[in-house]
Chain A
């Protein structure tokens, strides 16, 4: 290998290597296309935009942050264009029930994970394709509670949101009805609801029943979770019928029948029906401005061609890593000095146990049972709180986590994995406070496009450690009470939050309460990057609620 060392010196960046042999080149290209036809750019031909046309709004990103507002703006009669870095998939054809075959759903451009608790990206929290990360979210859709928005008021740390639950409640109501969320008759936590969930809860799978059993013995209240997956066929205004969940258990990847309310089967077709122009395979490289600093348009690459789209307003909805990355690369909205800072991630420790019962963790909605009894625990030695959720899991993901956390290999590793059908898990999602040592920056290392890779620093602080310890203790008790043996914890952090936060002042926030950048009059940001705090619930529903609110605030102003 010494010769190779010389030959490879300087290759510090895993770019696509230049293959010299033309025959090999041809074979590899052909194989790639056969393995994944959606990688063929010719599969998705796109008309060239008119270089002189100025549209009302460009929306970058089609996930939970971009899709709802895209539909709202289009329905108000505006000329809107959405740019999505990834392709438009056909779920029935493209979404195999196989973890490796669905890896294209994840944002697989490399991110550098630094700090004492380096975070996993890719399948852990980041998506690509028309629909964004909602293509592979677990579809848990609890609402945040009112006190989630006021950590500073209640505990004197972190920052408060510039508004509270009341402001989002009508959007939560609207979203639950529109998406067809399945949930219990009476949800036991949070403010009294104006509307019931439109659909009955999904059935409890093995892990949910075990968690229910353990919690009952400990006096912890549980409830079937709210899920954005249909427990019955559902008619969606402006879109049509969607089919009921088949208990395929594959929500951490793409749903092949459209039962899961990802944006590609809900808000995006609605937007398209109202004239929105959704452009897949469009990777934004540059944001252009005039002398006054206002955005005038964006430059993007589509199927290898560089294109430009002029616009009157820009909505940046690319998620809490790509949004600040674009801002930093374009030196945009940087006056507050907060872009990339205040990075948080949900505490998300998982506890796994082995049961004598047949669990078959690949069946049913992975997230079926929930408890928010730990929202503000009485014996807490930490700020904020968390919720408990049962989890099902697919084998490759589970094996990978077990390998990392338990360090098992050889015969011991294979023997442990033979218990897969008897495994059940619980996890938490809890608050995480901003800290100066947790931030995202541009690295010196470049990606395949020649753009600086993002480096994310994350070190769990005292509060995260205490919350995790508290939660791990409770989850171990639940699993013991339910009859588990061989209980172990996978320390983990979920979601990406807070790198372009909203606030009342441009001194310590990037956008105002309406999502508009303090620095740039016609730039709006809407995704998890604007969250001032992490919230003690899964973020998707709140991101969508913010998205609708941001659109409404924009339309009010535009009128």
Chain B
């Protein structure tokens, strides 16, 4: 089955209505209106590497000028030392893991292609990332840092940042944030008027 597509603008239109509570609107609007972010924890080069990795894990050719930025929330979280309640014991603390893991990606790219990760073409970048995911990437960092676990954590965090964004939610036809009236049509194939239909 081909993946469904939904019309653009659905969530943004809902946010302007009173179908969304203030608490919910504030959370989503803040992500839409996020100002340009300056890294505060990672140094400039490492932050750019994280952005480049994020751009391969979530390629957004459909948003060439305004991609959803996934790195700011990571940098901010590391700055605050915030946690989601657990981490693999096999991994060092998150700051250490990101520092080592991004360093490992940089080293693996150099070893595999003799160039910095940022200079690689998309296919080469994907090969580096796939090698990290599969635990086959070269480099001494991966002797110390379990590559498979690090990649899983990195991917999960970026995924959560991506699908928390209103534009990504438009993409998958999610409108659960329109929470004021409650849902009346909840059976299979039943839609409430505020739910977007797939683009045929």
A binding-site residues for B, Cβ under 8 Å: 1, 4-5, 8, 11-17, 24, 35, 92-101, 103, 106-114, 118-124, 126, 203-206, 209-210, 246-250, 256, 354, 356-360, 362-364, 394-396, 399-400, 402-404, 407, 409-411, 413-422, 445, 448, 455, 485
Asked if A248 contacts B173 (CB within 8 A), the reply is no
Give the CA-CA distance A123 to B155 in the complex, in Å. 18
Interchain residue pairs A-B with the least CB separation, the first 7: A122-B85, A246-B182, A362-B176, A14-B81, A418-B3, A101-B27, A114-B89
Q: Which residue of B lies closest to A249 (CB)?
A: B176
Collect the chain B residues with CB atoms within 8 Å of residue A111's CB: 85-87
What's the minimum C-beta distance from B52 to chain A, rounded to whole angstroms? 13
A122 and B81 contact, CB distance less than 8 A: no
Alpha-carbon distance between A101 and B25 when the two chains are bound, in angstroms = 11
A17 contacts across to B, CB distance below 8 A: 41, 79, 81
Q: Which residues of A contact B28 (CB under 8 A)?
A: 98
A-B contact pairs, 25 of them (CB 8 A): A12-B92, A14-B94, A97-B24, A107-B85, A108-B84, A110-B85, A110-B87, A111-B85, A112-B86, A112-B87, A122-B84, A209-B188, A246-B179, A248-B179, A248-B183, A360-B186, A362-B175, A395-B172, A399-B159, A403-B155, A404-B152, A418-B3, A421-B174, A445-B93, A485-B1
In Å, the complex CA distance between A404 and B46 comes to 24
A409-B4 in contact (CB<8A):
no
Of all chain A residues, which has the CB nearest B77? A14
> Does B120 have its Cβ within 8 Å of any Cβ on chain A?
no
Distance (Å) between the CB of B103 and the closest chain A CB?
6
Given A121-B86, A360-B191, A418-B5; A98-B172 close (CB under 8 Å): no
Q: How many Å lie between the Cα of A119 and that of B86 in the bound state?
A: 8
A126 to B84, CA, bound (A): 11
| A403 contacts B156, C-beta separation under 8 Å | yes
- What would 10 more interface pairs be, CB under 8 Å, given A8-B95, A16-B81, A403-B159? A4-B99, A14-B81, A113-B88, A203-B186, A248-B176, A358-B189, A414-B58, A417-B172, A418-B5, A418-B171
Asked if residues B78 and A14 are in contact (CB atoms below 8 Å), the reply is yes
Q: Are B164 and A94 in contact (CB under 8 A)?
A: no
Q: Provide the residues of chain A in CB contact with B26, threshold 8 Å.
A: 96
**Once the chains bind, are A396 and B155 in contact (CB under 8 Å)?**
no
List, in ascending order, chain A residues with CB within 8 A of B102's CB. Answer: 1
Chain A residue numbers with a CB within 8 Å of B89 are 112-114, 118, 455
- B85 touching A123, Cβ below 8 Å: yes
**Which of B79, B99, B160 is in CB contact (< 8 Å) with A399?**
B160
> Is there a chain A Cβ closer than 8 Å to B32's Cβ?
no
- Residues of chain A within 8 A of B1, CB atoms compared: 354, 356, 419, 422, 485
Interface 1/0 per residue, B170-198 and A, CB below 8 Å: 01111111010111101111110001000
A12, A394, A411, A413: which contacts B159 (Cβ < 8 A)? A413
- CB of B10 to closest CB in A, whole Å: 12
Q: Are B188 and A359 neighbours in the complex by a CB distance under 8 Å?
A: yes
In the complex, how many angstroms separate the beta carbon of A404 from the nearest chain B beta carbon?
5
A120 cross-chain contacts in B, Cβ below 8 A:
85-86
Residue among B84, B94, B175 with the highest chain A CB neighbour number at 10 A: B84
Give the number of chain B interface residues (Cβ < 8 Å): 74
| Docked pose: A110 CA to B184 CA in angstroms | 39
B contact set with A: CB distance below 8 Å: 1, 3-5, 20-21, 23-24, 26-28, 30, 40-41, 43, 45-46, 56-59, 78-90, 92-96, 99, 102-103, 106, 126, 129, 133, 152, 155-156, 159-160, 162-164, 169, 171-177, 179, 181-184, 186-191, 195
Distance of A112 from chain B, by nearest CB (Å): 4
A18 to chain B, nearest CB (A): 11
* Nearest-CB residue, chain B, relative to A248: B179
Question: How near does chain A come to B137, taking the closest CB pair, in angstroms?
Answer: 15
Nearest residue, chain A, Cβ from B164: A100
Q: Let me know if A247 and B177 touch, CB within 8 A.
A: no
If the complex has contacts A11-B96, A421-B173, A422-B4, are A101 and B23 also in contact, measured as CB distance less than 8 A?
A: yes
Set of chain A residues within 8 Å of B159, measured between Cβ atoms: 399-400, 402-403, 413
- Docked-complex contact B176 and A363, CB < 8 angstroms: yes
- Residues in B whose Cβ lies below 8 Å from that of A363: 176, 183, 186
Contact partners of A98 in chain B: CB under 8 A: 24, 27-28, 164, 177
- Tell me the smallest distance from the CB of A355 to a CB of chain B, in Å: 8
Contact with A100, one of B27, B156, B187 (Cβ below 8 angstroms) = B27
CA distance A287 to B1 in the complex (A): 60
Contact present for A358 and B188 (CB under 8 Å): yes
CB distance from A70 to the nearest CB of B (A): 25
Whether A418 pairs with B81 at a CB distance below 8 angstroms is no
The answer to whether A209 and B93 touch across the interface, beta carbons within 8 angstroms, is no
- Given contact pairs A4-B46, A410-B56, A97 touches B179 in the complex (Cβ within 8 A): yes
Q: What distance in Å separates the Cβ of B157 from its nearest Cβ neighbour in chain A?
A: 8
Q: Which chain A residues lie closer than 8 Å to B179 at the CB level?
A: 97, 246, 248, 250, 256
Q: Within the assembled complex, what's the spacing in Å between the Cα atoms of A65 and B43?
A: 46
Known: A96-B21, A100-B164, A417-B172. A210 touches B188 (CB 8 A): yes
Q: Does the CB pair B176–A250 fall under 8 Å?
A: yes
Instruction: Give bound CA distance, A120 to B81, whole Å.
Output: 18
Q: Which of the residues A14, A107, A114, A118 comes within 8 Å of B95, measured between beta carbons?
A: A14
Within the assembled complex, what's the spacing in Å between the Cα atoms of A443 and B180? Answer: 45
Tell me the bound Cα distance from A448 to B138 in angstroms: 35
Tell me if B187 and A16 are in contact (CB < 8 A). no
Whether A11 pairs with B164 at a CB distance below 8 angstroms is no
The interface residues of chain B lying within 8 Å CB-to-CB of A93 are: 23
Closest Cβ of chain B to A365, distance in Å, is 9
